[in-house]
């Protein structure tokens, strides 16, 4: 049975991951609105990953005999001044999430909840990757500045990210 303190923190993390899903979907809408469909596609792929993250915690709570309690989601932001600002926000958000994973690991260790260490370790690795990716794109956008043709090239590159098969965020999956 999962310790009460960790259960509360994991339920909070389900909310954090669902808010991540929500903010990346919001960024996808922003990029579609700007006709930067490659960046919108990248954000839709990222939103898909965040829903998976939320469900990993959701299922882990159940597997450990806990009760999942869903919470209200905040609409974190809907507009950005530029693509660079949106990706900088993505990087900031991933740093915030990494801090939450660190807190979960601290609680799990204090509560001697060793059965939760493998999943938290998976999230540690995942956060290293997510911070690195969003930081790199953010830095590239800073270099691009006002160069529209370089922006379109990056948009095309980000449009090549692949969806996991059958993702509900992939228009080609539900338009068949």
Query: What is the contact surface with ligand FEO in residues (CB under 6 A)?
Result: 17, 20, 50, 53, 94, 97, 130
Tokens 């919108």, residue? 40
Whose Cβ is closer to ligand FEO: residue 48's or residue 108's?
A: 48
| Cβ distance to ligand FEO smaller for residue 151 or 167 | 167
Residue 58: CB minimum distance to ligand FEO, A = 13
DSSP one-letter string for 66-134: ------PPP---S--SSHHHHHHHHHHHHHHHHHHHHHHHHHHHHTT-GGGHHHHHHHHHHHHHHHHHH
Q: Do residues 138 and 84 make contact, with C-beta atoms less than 8 angstroms apart?
A: yes
Q: Which residue number, 41 or 53, has a Cβ lying nearer to ligand FEO? A: 53
Report, in Å, the least distance between residue 1 CB and ligand FEO.
26
State in angstroms the smallest separation of the CB of 20 from ligand FEO.
5
For ligand FEO, which is the closer residue by CB, 17 or 113?
A: 17
In the bound state with ligand FEO, the residue whose beta carbon lies nearer, of 43 and 154, is 43
Phi/psi region, residue 29 (left: phi>0; alpha: psi -120 to 50; beta: rest), is alpha
Q: Which residues contact 6 (CB under 8 A, 6 or more apart)?
A: 104, 107, 108, 111, 113, 116
Q: Which two tokens stand for residue 122?
A: 């998976």
CB of 100 to ligand FEO, least distance (A): 9
CB closest to ligand FEO, residue no: 53
Least distance between ligand FEO and beta carbon 130 (Å): 4
Helix, strand, coil: what percent of the chain each, to 5? Answer: 75, 0, 25
């Amino acid at each position: 049975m999962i310790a009460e303190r960790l259960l509360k923190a994991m339920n909070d993390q389900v909310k954090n991951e669902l808010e991540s899903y929500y903010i990346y979907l919001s960024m996808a809408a922003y990029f579609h609105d700007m006709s930067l469909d490659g960046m919108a596609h990248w954000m839709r792929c990222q939103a898909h990953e965040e829903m998976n993250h939320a469900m990993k915690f959701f299922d882990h709570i159940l597997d450990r005999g806990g009760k999942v309690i869903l919470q209200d989601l905040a609409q974190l932001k809907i507009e950005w001044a530029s693509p660079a600002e949106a990706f900088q926000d993505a990087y900031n958000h991933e740093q915030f999430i990494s801090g939450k994973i660190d807190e979960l690991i601290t609680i799990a260790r204090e509560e001697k909840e060793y059965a939760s260490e493998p999943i938290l370790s998976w999230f540690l690795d995942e956060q290293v990757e997510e911070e690195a990716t969003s930081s790199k794109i953010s830095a590239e956008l800073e270099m691009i500045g006002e160069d529209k043709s370089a922006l379109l090239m990056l948009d095309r590159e980000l449009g090549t990210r692949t969806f996991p098969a059958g993702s509900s965020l992939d228009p080609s999956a539900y338009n068949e």
